[in-house]
Amino acid sequence: MQIGKYKLENKLILAPMAGVTDRPFRGLCKRMGAAMVVSEMVGCESLLRGSKKTLRRACHAGEVAPKSVQIVGYCPTTMARAAKLNEDMGAQIIDINMGCPAKKVCKTLSGSALLRDEQLVAKILQAVVAAVDIPVTLKIRTGWCVNERNGVAIAKIAENSGILALSVHGRTRNCFFKGEAEYETIAQIKQSVAIPVIANGDINSPQKAKQVLEDTKADAIMIGRAAQGRPWLFREINYFLATGNLLAEPTNYELESILLEHVENLYDFYDEYAGVRMARKHVSWYSKGQHNGAVFRDYFNRLESADAQRAAIKNFFVELNQQSR
C-alpha cells in the first residue's frame, strides 16, 4: 500500500487514540511491526493557540517515516492553517479526523458529527489538501447512525477532494464502541473508490485480521484498542499473514523488558509527575489477565514516583516467574 511517496512495509497501521498513541507508544508499536502509526488527534484551534499539551501531542521528533499527524476541527480555514503548521513542524502525512464519536468532540460539530454535512466535509477536505504539499488522509465511520450510513458518499467526496487514503471504522457514530463492528459497508466503500481503503474496528487477533482483509478486500487494516497493553499484536498478525502460523506469546522476561522500556520512555517524554500517571493506565492494560494482576494494579496505581513504579514492576515479574515454575 502506498500513500503519496510513502510505501508501507506491510498492511498494519496503529489507529490514533486520544490519550494513548503518544510518541512513546507509537515508537513501541512501530518496533513491534506496525508499518505506520498515527498521532493522537490534535485540536486545530488549540494548536494554533500554541497550547503546550497540544504541541506535545503533535511532537514526532526522532520518529521513523512516515510521520502521520491527525487533526480535528470543523472550520475549513482553521484546519487548513493547522495542517500547514504541522507540515512546517515536520509532519509527513496529515490525517483528518471525521470518526471520533466522543460527545465533547461532536458537540463542537467536529469528528464524526461532520458526516451529517457532506458539503462541509468537501470544503474541509479541499481546504486542507490545498494548504499542504504532503499527502492528506481521512478517517471516518460508516455514517452517523444505522439509518444514515453514508460512508460510500463520503468516500467519493474524499477521493474527488484529493484524499490519498481512507480509514473506515465499521461502526456508526451512534454505535460508539458498542456491539460488533460491521465490515459490509467497508467492502462497499472499497468497491466505490480507487484510493487505498483501510479497515478498522474489532481487529483483535491474527485470525480476525486475515478475515477482515479477505471480507473487505481492504488495502490495509488499522488496529486500535486491541494494541493497548499488547503492542506485539502487530508482529503476531504479520507472522500469521505471511506463514499461516501463530506466533508464540512473549515470555514473561520479554514482557517485563517491553514494559520497563515503555515506562522509561513515558518518564522521558513527559516529566516524572505526568509520566508516572500516564504509566498507570498502560501498566493496567499490560497486567490484565496476569496472575494477581488486579492486586498489582491496585497497588501500582497508588505509587507516586518512577523509582517506586520500576521496583513494583520488577517485583511483579519475579512473582510471575515463580508462579510459572
String of DSSP letters for 139-202 = EEES-SSTT---HHHHHHHHHHHT--EEEEESS-GGGTT-S----HHHHHHHHH-SS-EEEESS
Examine the domain organization and report whether 61 and 86 are in the same domain.
Answer: yes
Q: So what's the pLDDT on residue 53?
A: 87
Hey, what's the torsion of the CAs at 96, 101, 103, 106, to 10 degrees? Answer: 40
Beta bridge partner(s), residue 250 = none
- Report the CATH number that the domain containing residue 31 is assigned in CATH: 3.20.20.70
What percent of the chain is modeled with pLDDT above 70? 100
Examine the domain organization and report whether 121 and 220 are in the same domain.
Answer: yes
Spatial CB neighbours of 309, under 8 Å, sequence gap ≥ 6: 263, 276, 279, 283, 300, 303
Examine the domain organization and report whether 70 and 174 are in the same domain.
Answer: yes
Examine the domain organization and report whether 82 and 182 are in the same domain.
Answer: yes
Domain boundary among 243, 272, 300: 243
Domain boundary among 226, 243, 260: 243
Q: Using the structure block, give the residue that is written with the C-alpha cell 474541509.
A: 124
The answer to whether residue 175 is catalytic is no
Give 110-113's long-range contacts (Cβ < 8 A, gap of 24+). 110/72, 110/73, 110/74, 111/72, 111/173, 112/140, 112/141, 112/144, 112/172, 112/173, 113/74, 113/144, 113/173
Q: Model confidence at 255, in pLDDT bands (50, 70, 90)?
A: very high
Domain boundary among 243, 263, 287: 243
**Diameter over CA atoms, the chain:** 63
Examine the domain organization and report whether 227 and 313 are in the same domain.
Answer: no
Examine the domain organization and report whether 61 and 116 are in the same domain.
Answer: yes
| Full domain range(s) for residue 17 | 2-243
With beta carbons less than 8 A apart as the criterion, state whether 226 and 291 touch: no
Examine the domain organization and report whether 211 and 283 are in the same domain.
Answer: no
Examine the domain organization and report whether 118 and 264 are in the same domain.
Answer: no
Examine the domain organization and report whether 139 and 205 are in the same domain.
Answer: yes
With beta carbons less than 8 A apart as the criterion, state whether 110 and 78 touch: no
pLDDT in tens, 45-80: 999 999 988 988 888 888 889 999 999 999 999 999
pLDDT in tens, 99-149: 999 888 988 889 999 999 999 999 999 999 999 999 999 999 999 988 889
C-alpha–C-alpha distance, residues 96 and 70, integer Å: 6
Examine the domain organization and report whether 256 and 232 are in the same domain.
Answer: no
Q: So what's the pLDDT on residue 322?
A: 85
Examine the domain organization and report whether 176 and 317 are in the same domain.
Answer: no
Question: If we measure between CA atoms, which residue out of 295, 292, 286, 288 comes closest to residue 324?
Answer: 292
Nine-digit cell string for 18: 486520544
Examine the domain organization and report whether 66 and 161 are in the same domain.
Answer: yes
Q: Which of 44, 100, 106, 175 is catalytic?
A: 100
Residue 325 reports pLDDT greater than 70: no
pLDDT in tens, 137-182: 999 999 998 888 999 999 999 999 999 999 999 999 988 889 899 9
Number of domains the chain is built from:
2
C-alpha–C-alpha distance, residues 128 and 95, integer Å: 10
Residue 208 reports pLDDT greater than 80: yes
